[in-house]
């Protein structure tokens, strides 16, 4: 088996796995393997050279991606902030089941110290992953 076939198979497997997971780390591996494949195919360089190129592309790519993802905070959609949601049920540990945008979500209160009974309506003030952060709707 030629080394270019090995690198092409590795690149294809990494890219397919990336499409299934969506992490972007495997995309870096796929791009590095594709580059090593091209080096093997065009120049016939030694396996050590191909592996060195693969490593030189992978290590900084993965470290840079990790650094970027670490800076990223939770995604907050502008349309979610300020939305009023209906409380469907109170779950354990201060978590509520609410209806928002036609689906059910889990929500927690950010200012729930004075809340003694289950509120009927909440206002979304932020998100954390798929958890809505809410505060009780002030009475009018």
Q: Where are the domains of the chain?
A: 3-71, 84-136
Residue 74: its pLDDT value, please? Answer: 47
Which pTM value belongs to this model? Answer: 0.52
Topology, domain 84-136: OB fold (Dihydrolipoamide Acetyltransferase, E2P) (2.40.50)
pLDDT (tens digit per residue) in 23-35: 889 999 999 999 9
Segment holding 130, helix H or strand E: none
Residue spans of alpha helices (H) in 22-116: 25-43, 47-71
Least confident of 42-51, 73-82, 127-136: 73-82
Residue 140: its pLDDT value, please? Answer: 56
Separation of alpha carbons 22 and 33, rounded Å: 18
Q: How far apart are the first and last CA of the chain?
A: 75
State the residue for tokens 């939305």.
Answer: 83
Segment holding 134, helix H or strand E: strand 131-136
- The total of other beta-carbon atoms located within 10 Å of residue 42's CB is 9
């Amino acid at each position: 088996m030629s080394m270019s076939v090995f690198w092409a198979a590795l690149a294809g497997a990494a890219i397919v796995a990336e499409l299934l997971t969506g992490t972007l780390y495997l995309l870096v591996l796929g791009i590095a393997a594709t580059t090593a494949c091209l080096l093997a195919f065009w120049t016939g360089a030694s396996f050590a050279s191909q592996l060195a190129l693969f490593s030189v592309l992978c290590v900084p790519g993965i470290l840079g991606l990790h650094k970027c993802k670490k800076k990223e905070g939770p995604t907050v959609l502008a349309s979610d902030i300020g939305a009023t949601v209906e409380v469907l049920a109170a779950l354990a540990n201060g978590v509520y089941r609410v209806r928002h945008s036609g689906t059910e979500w889990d929500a927690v209160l950010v200012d729930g110290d004075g809340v003694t009974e289950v509120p009927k309506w909440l206002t979304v003030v932020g998100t954390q992953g798929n958890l809505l952060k809410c505060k009780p709707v002030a009475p009018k």
